[in-house]
Amino acid sequence: DVQLVESGGGSVQPGGSLRLSCDASGNTYSRSSMAWFRQAPGKEREGVAGIAMWSDDDPRYSESVKGRFTISLDNAKNTLYLEMNSLKSEDTAIYYCAADYSAAAWQPLRAQDFRYWGQGTQVTVS
């Protein structure tokens, strides 16, 4: 099984930065795809960024965060990061870390393709 625990959320002014972390444990082959999603009140869960655990393919970003957010894995592949810069009020949401054993799930960034989820961390930009 896989356990995901997010941290690093908080409140920041527009234009500010935050770095989210997701500590992952369990079978590494059960998390061949990893990603960050977010959900704002009254909206559907949205894919923000995805990365492949076992390839060097460039990460995938949603158009709304491209150029501002960076997803990365630590060398041990046990911590997933999301560096968020130039934050806007519309970035306010609960941010979730997700993982799946499928090596392809990270590209389409669809929530239904991910089996494992963290509990979420709140990001407020105001």
pLDDT, one tens digit per residue, over 29-62 is: 888 999 999 999 999 999 999 999 888 889 999 9
Instruction: Answer for the pair 7, 121: CB distance below 8 angstroms, yes or no.
Output: yes
For residue 76, the one-letter residue type is: A
pLDDT confidence of 103, banded at 50, 70, 90? Answer: confident
Q: Using a pLDDT cut of 70, give the percent of the chain over it.
A: 100
Cβ-Cβ contacts under 8 Å for 113 (sequence gap 6 or more): 33, 100, 102, 105
Q: What is the DSSP letter of 121?
A: E
| Per-residue pLDDT tens digits for 2-27 | 999 999 999 999 999 999 999 999 88
- What is the pLDDT, as a whole number, of residue 39? 98
The residue whose two tokens read 């046990």 is 78
Per-residue pLDDT reduced to its tens digit, 112-122: 999 999 999 99
Distance in angstroms (rounded) separating the CA atoms of residues 32 and 55: 9
Sheet holding 69-73, edge to edge: 2-7, 18-26, 79-84, 69-73
Both tokens of 45, joined, read 């869960």
